[in-house]
Amino acid sequence: MMRVSYSLGSLLTINQVIDCSKKLNRANSDVIWIPETWGMENFSMLSLISQKNSTAKIGSSIINIYSRSPSQIAMGAVTADTISNGRLILGLGSSSKPIVEQFHGEKFVKPVQRMKEYVEIIRLILSGKKINYSGDIFSLENFSLLIKPPRDNIPIYLAAINQKMVNLAWEIGDGVIFYLRPKTEIKSTLERMQKQKKIDSTLQIITCIHNDSEKAIERAKKTLAFYISVGGIYREFLADNGYKKDTKNIHDEYQKTGLKNNFTLVSDKMVKDLCICGTVNECQQQFKQFQETGIDLPIIQFNPIGDVNESFDMLLNTFGDI
């Protein structure tokens, strides 16, 4: 049976995340992933849902490495891992320049080097020993945790878009978190990188399911248009991988009129290449196409349509027996 996991995040309220997490007790969910943008704080939510769901691992997708110090992230990870009885996957990412500089007041510089030092420091802290560290960015003196970590090797997954971060994920990570990558591109990337070293490869997939296929496709196009409009790094990556005209048109319209209508410029080809959307049967077939890319763990990003409970039940019915 194919591993499958679910991302419960930005389009949901805290109570809706709790309700969905409870429902996943009866599903074959490998991991429940919680994103962190500018809403729910990640470690708090992960700790909470670990008490509502007793079966799945819990994962951050992702913790922004510009939002906290390496020591703070290590402390949060150990706390959540203790509360969840050793079920945490620590997903780290560099986020994007607008979020880092406009929302956190930090300079978006040296993301790859910063990530390397974060992982090195966090792993040292998890050893439980007193550490001294001197890097290009961070220096720590005589730091040690006051609590004993339940594990000395919490899995660390890196969110990666450009090749430098992809290389780093395979160099120091236990896994990688991909997002918005064309199927042919991710297949070729995995074939190339997994020959070097086998790590757990995950892909978060915008997923919209409805009995009316057109409603599901429209919902997916709106989500996709949002990321292309505000996420320069996604826009650039997709432009370099077959969607230069599409991304330009979507972003140009965003600059003129915002997000109101630019989703109409997302082509059917693009949405079907990057997302899962349609009826139950259509989505099951599209899921299989993502399986064929060689990804180890698909992450179903829940995008509700209409009533959240009914929409999530449809999602579970779609992927429960995959």
pLDDT at position 269: 97
pLDDT at position 322: 66
Collect all residues with Cβ–Cβ distance below 8 Å to 309 and sequence separation of at least 6. Answer: 19
- The tokens describing 132, both together, are 């001294």
- The Cα–Cα gap between 25 and 176 comes to 25
Query: Which residue numbers in the chain have pLDDT < 50?
Result: none
Closest CA to 227 of 271, 283, 272: 271
Angle between helices 280-291 and 308-319 (to 10 degrees): 50
> What are the boundaries of each domain within the chain?
5-179
- The tokens describing 217, both together, are 């496709």
Closest CA to 152 of 115, 130, 125, 170: 125
Q: How many DSSP H helices and E strands does the chain contain? A: 13, 12
What is the per-residue pLDDT across 84-103, written as a single tens digit (0 to 9) for each?
999 999 999 999 888 888 88
Collect all residues with Cβ–Cβ distance below 8 Å to 202 and sequence separation of at least 6. Answer: 5, 157, 175, 176, 177, 178, 295, 296, 297, 298, 299
Helices (H), the chain: 14-23, 42-52, 70-83, 97-98, 111-126, 163-172, 183-193, 213-230, 232-238, 244-257, 268-274, 280-291, 308-319
pLDDT at position 37: 84
- CA 140 vs CA 8, 68, 117, 130, 285: distances in Å: 35, 15, 11, 10, 50
The DSSP result for 221-239, as a single string, is HHHHHHHHHH-HHHHHHHI
- The tokens describing 137, both together, are 């960015």
pLDDT at position 321: 67
DSSP 3-state of 304: coil
Question: Cβ atoms within 10 A of the Cβ of 237, count?
Answer: 19
pLDDT at position 101: 86
- The Cα–Cα gap between 96 and 139 comes to 24
- The tokens describing 50, both together, are 């670990």
Cis peptide before 199, with omega less than 30 degrees from 0? no
pLDDT at position 11: 85
pLDDT at position 103: 86
Phi, psi for residue 311 in degrees, rounded to 5: -65, -40
- The tokens describing 54, both together, are 């007793």
Which CATH class name applies to 5-179? alpha beta
Closest CA to 62 of 119, 106, 16: 119
This prediction has a pTM of 0.96
DSSP 3-state of 197: coil
- B/e letters for 68-102, b = 16+ CB within 10 Å, e = fewer, are bebbebbbbbbbbbbbbeebbbbbbbbbbeebbee
pLDDT at position 28: 84
